Amino acid sequence: MKFSLGPNLFFWPKTDVEQFYQQAKTSSADIIYLGETVCSKRRELRAKDWLSLGRELAQDTNKQIVISTMTLLESPVEIITLKKLCDNGDLLVEANDLSAVQIMRDLNMPFVAGPAINCYNLSTLKILLKQGMMRWLMPVELSGDWLATILNQAVDENIRDQFECEVFSWGYLPLAYSARCFTARSENKAKDDCQYCCINYPQGRKMNSREGEQVFVLNGIQTMSAYQYNLINEVAQLNNIGVDIIRISADSEQAFTQLDKFKAQLATPKTFSLDTDRECNGFWHQIAGMSVG
């Protein structure tokens, strides 16, 4: 089992990003994903900055470095940037939209299919394999049983060795993408005049019910879970069904502690009780995502 640090989904100042990845260098992650996946207006780091940061990490560590790409691409300019990232020459790429899959196929380069690619079954997985997918993350709403079914089918068809399987296992879940910027809306700003206000919310903005129940996190055009997804008690199961990589989302510096905590579960498994006001694992157990199973 390997452990990865997922892309940071929030918008942080450049110095904070750089500091975070300095720490990531000495973290226990085997794989580091980095890049902007949510909003093309977030340009504290531009495409070339992400690539040079990626190369620096690749040079200074033995970790595998992967460039993560945007999920909702709407304009030709965004596609140009995407092509630059995809055709970077040396670093592996995570596709989060079929546009990136198409580009990687044209380049004849292998890619990681991120959790925003809708792969719900083996037939779809086989199509992605034909395009060059070398690693697969299932959509976050799917369960452990659903995943096990697909992985078993892949074994039966003798294709299980053609891809790695990674699972989003800890952090705020990316749940939805919109044309509308909800953070700008929360400040009564238009999206075209957002003043990059996401930068003021390094953990997004909590959206609660009128009874104070935490429901979602507003993160620009992305809506996230208000509770942190936590599969700490499912590490053995992930291992048993043939998952290759556990992903810890780069929510904050807490991610580094979580990496160690998850890793320790392999050697000496412990049962942790989840805090139902802060954590969830419902998706894995095929119940309401925000609940604990």
Partner 1 sequence: MELLCPAGNLPALKIAIDNGADAVYIGLKDDTNARHFAGLNFNDGKLAKAADYVHQRGKKLHVAINTFAHANGEDRWKKAVDNAVAIGTDALIIADLGVLDYAANKYPEVELHVSVQASTTNLEAIKFFKNNFDVNRVVLPRVLSVQQVRQLAKTSPVPLEVFAFGSLCIMAEGRCYLSSYMTGESPNTVGACSPAKYVRWQETEQGLESRLNNVLIDRYQEDENAGYPTLCKGRFDVDGNVYHALEEPTSLNTLELIPDLMAMGIVSVKIEGRQRSPAYVEQVAKTWRMALDRCKSDPDNFQVDGAWMQTLANLSEGSQTTLGAYHRKWQ
Is residue 54 within 8 A of residue 31, CB to CB? The reply is no
Residue 58 CB, nearest distance to partner 1 (Å)? 26
Question: Does 47 sit near partner 1 (CB under 8 A)?
Answer: no
Report the residue from 65, 67, 73, 165 that binds partner 1 according to the rule CB under 8 A. Answer: 73
Distance, CA of 254 to chain centre: 16
> Which residues in the 74-113 window bind partner 1 by CB under 8 A?
74-76, 78-79, 82, 97-103, 105
> Which residues in the 229-268 window bind partner 1 by CB under 8 A?
none
In angstroms, the Cα distances linking 219 to 38, 137, 163, 183, 203 are 8, 21, 31, 6, 8
CA distance 145 to 106: 34
Pick the piece of the chain touching partner 1 (CB under 8 A) from 30-38, 52-60, 143-151, 258-266: 143-151
Shortest CA distance to 171 belongs to which of 8, 1, 2, 3? Answer: 8
Q: For residue 73, what is the DSSP state?
A: -
Helix axes 144-156, 122-131, angle to 10 degrees: 60
Question: Does 14 sit near partner 1 (CB under 8 A)?
Answer: no
Question: Does 133 sit near partner 1 (CB under 8 A)?
Answer: no
Question: Does 118 sit near partner 1 (CB under 8 A)?
Answer: yes
Pick the piece of the chain touching partner 1 (CB under 8 A) from 20-28, 39-47, 125-133, 241-249: 125-133
* Choice between 159 and 175, CB closer to partner 1: 175
Report the residue from 205, 237, 239, 242 that binds partner 1 according to the rule CB under 8 A. Answer: 205
Phi, psi of 273 (to 5 degrees): -90, 130
> Which residues in the 15-44 window bind partner 1 by CB under 8 A?
none
Report the residue from 122, 129, 266, 274 that binds partner 1 according to the rule CB under 8 A. Answer: 122
Collapsed DSSP state (helix, strand, coil) of residue 222: strand
Report the residue from 15, 108, 161, 210 that binds partner 1 according to the rule CB under 8 A. Answer: 210
Question: Does 120 sit near partner 1 (CB under 8 A)?
Answer: yes
Question: Does 116 sit near partner 1 (CB under 8 A)?
Answer: yes
Question: Does 127 sit near partner 1 (CB under 8 A)?
Answer: yes
Distance, CA of 218 to chain centre: 16
Question: Does 155 sit near partner 1 (CB under 8 A)?
Answer: no
Within 8 A by CB and 6+ apart from 167, the residues are 137, 138, 147, 231, 238, 243, 245, 246, 247
Residue 144 CB, nearest distance to partner 1 (Å)? 12
| # residues contacting partner 1 (CB under 8 A) | 71
CA distance 235 to 258: 12
Residue 186 CB, nearest distance to partner 1 (Å)? 5
Question: Does 186 sit near partner 1 (CB under 8 A)?
Answer: yes
Count how many Cα atoms sit within 13 Å of the Cα of residue 273 in the half-sphere of its side chain: 1
Residue 141 CB, nearest distance to partner 1 (Å)? 4
